[in-house]
Structure 1
Amino acid sequence: MDCFKLAVLITCYNRRDKTLTCLQALYQQHVNFDVYLVDDGCSDGTSDAVKQNYPAVKIIKGNGNLFWVGGMRLAFAAALQEGYDYYLWLNDDTLIDPNALTELLNHHCHLTQQGHPDSIIVGSTRDPLTGKPTYGGAMRSKRWYSNKYEFVESTQQLQECDTMYGNCVLIPRSVAEKVGNLDAAFIHTLGDLDYGLRARKLGCSVWIAPGYIGTCSKNSVRGSWVDTKLPIHERLRKLLQPKGYPIKAWTVFTKRHSGPFWFIYWFLPYLRAVIGYRDLSASPAFCEEIKQQTSKP
């Protein structure tokens, strides 16, 4: 593990303090890396603050409408041109523990020795106040009628899973060469789930690292398209926005990953927005649309 190149990919929008705190935790790691930070039109001085405190960060300016997937895709594209050995997706609201990167890299080395070199390693996070698990790996629900990807809590052992939420994800070069970048069909949600699922279809695997790699708070569902206190027209409006289920992106996802009856699953979120379905846990990929990602409102 002495001679490798690691690129850390982050996108941000008007969360200067969070971004700086994320970088502070990142630079406490005991490995070398390059940081690619997409500033998607920040108006709060994020870029200037980063330049002053972390001058080595490679700042890429976005067009102001990238949201999470678009920003991460731009950062990933820049790093892919340089040919790194590893790429780390990192949310700027995720604070990693001092040895997190070393642990993720060691887990990949272990899996390589076990015959699984094309492995994505997912770091699980916990709430900084309650200690409860928040984000990490995901498995598709075993219920025949469900298109939901359920969060899987970490254990003390490596666990294989179906896909992941993109708060802290280590992708080795061999996987990046097979899968490529995040799909441009997605704007804010679903891109990370899609990446893991595409990777598995191409013969790669997705593993949850033991324990937790850091902290990240969950965002409230209040004001989102699943908030039953909102009127129907407002829920539908929010559902069709980039943070919800835009028609094109949701169509691509369901056609690609939901089997021959994908059109049945396609209707579900729009139906739920209309009827105000209260069982939030049954919403397909529910954690995806409410997670606290970096984006433009």
Structure 2
Amino acid sequence: MGIVLVIVVAAVGLAATMAAAWLVAMSSGRSGWVDAIWSFAAGIFGAFVAVVAQADSDNNQRQWVIAVLALGWSLRLGFHIVARTIGSDHDDPRYAQLKQDWGMDFKRRLFWFLQIQAVAAFLLVMSIMAAAHNPRSGLGVADWVGIALILLAVGGEALADRQLQAFRADPGNRGKVCDIGLWGLSRHPNYFFEWLGWVAYAAIAVGSPSAYPWGFTALAGPALMYWLLVHVSGIPPLEAHMLRSRGDEFRRYQARVNAFWPGAPRQAIVSGGR
């Protein structure tokens, strides 16, 4: 299938998938399903553009490696969110806050919000496509660096998720802030590793810039993901919820541990609810 047609199919497919996610959220009353569907869609369409699009200079080995990595990331994250959604008796706090803020206009605004998520997924899928269709022969150093980064990212995110799950499962930690393991190095280690995975595709795509200038388009992946996670739909609404529910304890955690980049904790001095 030609590259242009594959791009059109991916764009339309992602828009339709997020429209379906809106229907699921409305019918179930659980917005957590949205993130699971988005994760599955990004991985499936990423694999689709990696292997279905064909160009004369393609390296089939790289195409299939990228497709498998994209699907592996997608399935791990998607099923984790599915399990979290099924096991929780309340809605995702970020979407719950949007429902409160948007009031009677929630249904309409959520639909278009999810279409924006479809656009974001499309840009990320294009990063996967840029990496998969790098025409460089064989698998070189850049490919192995990218593969290592993706494996590290998926493993690190899975470890962070397990540590948080174990912390929450202990009744003695009810109402406390998780600061064990990776959560003592970053307040959002799962977001950091999520971002790192998109850096991997850029590393593979830009491995031979003089021969493949289109590889630079893959830089949109980590740039977009960083902006979304750190400044838009990730850290800001989640930390606003944590401040409402955990108060000064979370403020002390904020003062002690980096928000995104892992690093050694600092001594916290927080008083007066400031």
Q: TM-score range, shorter-chain basis?
A: under 0.3
TM-score normalised by length of structure 2 = 0.27
TM-score normalised by length of structure 1 = 0.25
Higher fraction of helix: 2
Higher radius of gyration, 1 or 2: 2
